[in-house]
Amino acid sequence: MPTINLNFPKPYNVFNKQIFDSLFDYSRFVEVWYGGASSGKSHGVVQKVVLKALKHWKYPRKVLWLRKVDRTIQDSIFTDVIDCLSTWKLLPLCKVNKSNRTINLPNGAVFLFKGMDDPEKIKSIKGLSDVVMEEASEFNQDDFTQLTLRLREPKHKDRQLFCMFNPVSKLNWTYKQWFAEDAVVDHNRVAIHQSTYKDNHFLDEDNIRTIENLKQTNPAYYKIYTLGEFATLDKLVFPVFEKRRLNMRALSQYPSYFGLDFGYTNDETAFMHVKVDQTNHIIYIVEEYAKHGMLNSDISRVIKQMGYAKEVITADAAEPKSIAEIKRDGIYRIRPAKKGKDSIVQGISFMQQYHIVVDDRCVKTIEELENYTYQKDKKTGEYTNEPVDAYNHEIDAVRYALNEINGLASPKGKVLKNIYI
């Protein structure tokens, strides 16, 4: 197998300092990379693992790159690895199979990209040298344990498991595993790296201003999203809900409702599909699509790919221009949600009358339900009925979807000559 030699005469132009300082340190079995958004942690881990795989080993590396949900792979970690190989001008030397999501490096190393929503597929993969858990907080303790057991191929030296994530609730398994007061961490086997946007010297001034503006506009979200602090346990808006694998066919008798919450840089766009059993008062959250940086044309494309272009979709009324553009792209039945002074509280109150069941692949929704809390009155210390403006994008989209049955619906409209009125 050929040896690949990369030369970085000015490493400062390629790597953030934190990743560069540990670039060739493989001494810890588990590497935990956590912190705020835009800190460069995921990009840095991709760089480190790609470089590790390109080194000369007696047996070429076999690396498994994971997200919890399979359909999120293509637009996230798979694209990140492709971009890294392309930037380093290695992509033409690799064999890329986009349908199977595998990359064969010129030195014989293999990259596999999978979702953990079907653990049986992971069990069949043998001979792994390294595992990367992107958005590790979306996984659970059992997933982590299973993956540590997959890394037992003795022919591979310096086997490692990498975990990258933004901190969420102290209820999350990552907090209990490495950060809780009673957590037992063997620092000879586990390296923990924390970072914020201040550690990413590749951010431009516009991005920095956008991030720092959150300190004034949404202090609670700033602590979680920007500084990467674990959310304190507080009074949850939805303290009880159920998560399990849902069978769409078994729920086919219940009507579907669709909601859309717009985002871009700091907030993800969230598209939600829910079913409601009004007789037994059960809300089933069956599908989610959540992604940062989506243009309106991207949103239209995703809705069409998911097969919901002809459905009534209730979207955030604060974005009339976006709604008009998506409608122009062929999503004719999109409409604005009815919003008013108390629409958030009213929508939450309606949801609280139902038992909520979430498909376990709706990881962003689960994360929000575990972290969506009420505000405290600063003077009295008592909780108000207003929620904190954080961990609410998927939940907002669910609220919009439920406009249809909670008394806040806008007129459905009609299609005449392909023009929605």
Residue 336: give its domain's CATH number: 3.30.420.280
CA distance linking residue 335 with residue 16, whole number of Å: 44
Do both 175 and 276 map to the same domain? no
Do both 170 and 290 map to the same domain? no
> Is the residue at 264 inside a domain?
yes
CA distance linking residue 78 with residue 67, whole number of Å: 10
> Is the residue at 215 inside a domain?
no
The confidence score (pLDDT) of residue 45 equals 98
The confidence score (pLDDT) of residue 414 equals 41
With H, G, I as helix, E, B as strand and everything else as coil, classify residue 416: strand
Give residue 285's domain range. 242-420
CA distance linking residue 267 with residue 165, whole number of Å: 16
Do both 251 and 197 map to the same domain? no
Do both 165 and 67 map to the same domain? yes
> Is the residue at 135 inside a domain?
yes
Question: What CATH number corresponds to the domain at position 140?
Answer: 3.40.50.300
The confidence score (pLDDT) of residue 75 equals 87
Do both 266 and 385 map to the same domain? yes
Do both 67 and 156 map to the same domain? yes
> Is the residue at 17 inside a domain?
no
Domain count, the chain: 2
Q: What single string gives the DSSP state of each residue in 298-367?
A: HHHHHHHHTT-TTS-EEE-TT-HHHHHHHHHTT-TTEEEPP--TTHHHHHHHHHHTSEEEEETT-HHHHH
Which tens digits make up the pLDDT trace of 233-264? 678 999 899 999 999 999 999 999 999 999 98
Do both 176 and 319 map to the same domain? no
Do both 378 and 259 map to the same domain? yes
> Is the residue at 139 inside a domain?
yes
In the chain the first and final C-alpha atoms are separated, in Å, by 63
Residue where a domain stops, chosen among 205, 225, 256 = 205
Instruction: State the burial class of residue 391 (Cβ atoms within 10 Å of its Cβ: 0-12, 13-18, 19+).
Output: buried
Instruction: State the burial class of residue 403 (Cβ atoms within 10 Å of its Cβ: 0-12, 13-18, 19+).
Output: buried
Backbone angles phi, psi at 2, to 5 degrees: -70, 150
For the chain, which residues score pLDDT lower than 50? 411, 413-421
